[in-house]
Structure 1
Amino acid sequence: MKSSPKLRPNGWDGLAAAVVLVLAVACAALVWTGGGQSGPLTAVVSADGETVDQVVLADLTEPEERTYTANGCTLRVTFGPGSAQVTASDCPTQDCVHTGKITRGGQSIVCLPARIVIQLEGGPAADSGVDLVIG
């Protein structure tokens, strides 16, 4: 009957552990600093996957309305200082209108029938406020 070999850590095991530790610290630092979002908060409007308009929200001092038409639907979008909102649409579902205001980078409003997407990019890192409450 053979006895099992004794397993002992060697130098390569220590090197692998050090690499994993360095990567974990780098990922934690990236999350802690907000992922490096920079630049002014900008609303990017795209229709059928192509950018049709960009509005720098930080430059606005009062609300500005713009109208976009695509695929038989018309959207009226209000851009304000730090926010964007679809205020009217003639699409049948009205999901884009019910989305409300978006104010942080990464948020978006989507009108499926018109295939129009309004997405916010840049701006300060997301605040530590509560996004969801369960229970």
Structure 2
Amino acid sequence: MNRKHIFVLVTDDDEDDRYFLRKAFERAIKEISVLEARDGTEAINLLAERPVHLIVLDMNMPGLNGLETLAFIRLNTNLCHTPAVMISTSDQPVLVADAYKKGFNCYIKKPVLMGDYDQIAQALKTCFLL
């Protein structure tokens, strides 16, 4: 890996989903810090304090949803090129297309099985963090 230490932000109102993603990232990448936010506002505040290498946003959250949060992130010149991944329970084609149109680099349907989180972390590592 080219970077010494990786920082990833996982934003999801579901504590279990944040936990499963964090643990999967920690298994996939040795030198990683996973920051966690419960909603879009908390994510924006964390990003103001610490730039990250990858942003993972849930679609449906109270307050700012994933699309609205990404709109704020893309306005920040320090973060506008940071890869962003949408993760959602929905895989409706209209929602997926809208996510890509609004600037997401990847769209992932939330897994049903815990082991699938490991596959997601490995794929995101390969695509965005090497």
What TM-score, normalized to structure 1?
0.26
- Bigger relative CO (Cα 8 Å, ≥ 6 apart): 2
More strand by share: 1
Computing the radius of gyration from Cα coordinates, the structure with the larger value is: 1
* TM value normalised by structure 2: 0.27
